[in-house]
């Protein structure tokens, strides 16, 4: 809390402090905002949906998996489930009736695979691009009128793999590099109308990580997990909540001067 520590008095003066104090008592609030989280039914997306709801937002949990989305939406005070396949314009279009207004879009739905260039098939490369890149493009374009109308904000979930090279992540890195580029491009094209930022997680404990370990390291999960921890100087895996906290902040009034930023949440991985 800044109030009462002298710094706020210095910056805004006493009257300013009184005006701000009700807001400052509860920072990073999103009351009255409508947010949509793609891939919101699991892992990082679910934690983001919960955190935005905790901040007071009405949250639309958009996912391929309607049942899981309904389960989570039912737990949130103002939650709603939306069935959406981010790779299909028709599926996104069908959901638009349920989204007449929107203040916050979190492009979180994503998939991964582990392979270097030589062992990445064209089919797999296209599948990754379809979900991780095309999905962000299609959803954001479809919801752009609502976001322009509300002077809203977008948070794209990238990855450290979009910033630095990670062994055997050829297609995934390419797709997340495109997410970083799309983030900056939207920030540049709509600088006064929309804020668009990217959060780049390191390795985070989610069902997706467990699926990865089961698929690629079935007989050496502990060793693979230890290696993932070792590359993050903080000495642990991230939690979905680590990511969700930053997303909430980026969507808040307090972050109103942050635009086009790519922010790692990786326990120091990309700093090392
Ligand atoms: N877990 C990590 O270590 C990690 C690290 C860096 C970045 N990320 C990124 O975070 C995001 C979420 O990852 P997670 O670990 O929570 O994954 P997860 O697999 O736990 O959840 C992903 C959700 O997206 C949904 N989804 C998948 N394809 C979809 C589609 N076509 N349309 C709509 N929904 C779809 C799934 O049904 C699921 O609910 C992804 O973009 C991922 O690349 C994850």
Which is catalytic among the residues 172, 190, 208, 216?
172
Closest C-alpha residue for ligand 1 atom 13: 44
Q: Which of 39, 238, 266, 269 to mutate to test the pocket of ligand 1 (most atoms within 8 A of CB)?
A: 39
Q: Which pLDDT score, from 0 to 100, does residue 6 have? A: 39
* Residue 175 CB less than 6 A away from ligand 1: no
CB proximity list for 92: less than 8 A, separation 6 or greater: 84, 85, 86, 138, 139, 142
Which ligand 1 atom is at minimum distance from the Cα of 112? 43
* pLDDT, tens digit, 9 for 90 and up, residues 171-181: 999 999 999 99
Quote the mean pLDDT of the chain.
92
Gap from CA of 92 to ligand 1 centroid (Å): 17
Q: What is the mean pLDDT of residues 49-70?
A: 98
pTM for the whole thing? 0.92
* pLDDT, tens digit, 9 for 90 and up, residues 175-230: 999 999 999 999 999 999 999 999 999 999 999 899 999 999 999 999 999 999 99
Q: What is the mean pLDDT of residues 100-116?
A: 97
Domain extents for the chain? 30-202+240-264, 208-237
CATH of the domain spanning 30-202+240-264: 3.40.50.720
* Residue 44 CB less than 6 A away from ligand 1: yes
Q: Which pLDDT score, from 0 to 100, does residue 2 have? A: 38
Q: What is the mean pLDDT of residues 153-158?
A: 99
């Amino acid at each position: 809390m800044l109030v009462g520590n002298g710094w706020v008095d210095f910056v805004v003066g006493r009257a300013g402090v009184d005006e701000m104090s009700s807001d400052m008592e509860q920072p990073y609030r999103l009351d009255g905002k409508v947010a949509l989280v793609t891939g919101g039914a699991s892992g990082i997306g679910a934690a983001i949906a919960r955190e935005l709801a905790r901040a007071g937002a009405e949250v639309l949990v958009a996912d391929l998996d309607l049942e899981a989305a309904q389960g989570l939406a039912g737990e949130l005070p103002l939650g709603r489930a939306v069935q959406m396949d981010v790779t299909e314009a028709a599926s996104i279009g069908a959901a638009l009736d349920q989204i007449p207004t929107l203040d916050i879009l979190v492009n979180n739905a994503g998939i991964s695979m582990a392979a270097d260039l030589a062992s990445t098939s064209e089919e797999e490369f296209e599948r990754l691009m379809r979900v991780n890149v095309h999905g962000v493009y299609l959803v954001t374009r479809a919801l752009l009128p609502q976001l322009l109308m509300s002077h809203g904000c977008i948070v794209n979930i990238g990855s450290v793999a979009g910033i630095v090279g990670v062994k055997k992540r050829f297609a995934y890195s390419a797709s997340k590099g495109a997410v970083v580029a799309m983030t900056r491009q939207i920030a540049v094209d709509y600088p006064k109308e929309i804020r668009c930022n990217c959060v780049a997680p390191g390795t985070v404990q989610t069902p997706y990580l467990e699926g990865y370990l089961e698929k690629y390291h079935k007989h050496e999960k502990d060793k693979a997990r230890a290696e993932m921890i070792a590359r993050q100087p903080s000495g642990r895996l991230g939690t979905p909540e680590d990511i969700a906290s930053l997303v909430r902040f980026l969507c808040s009034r307090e972050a109103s001067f942050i635009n086009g930023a790519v922010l790692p949440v990786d326990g120091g991985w990309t700093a090392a």
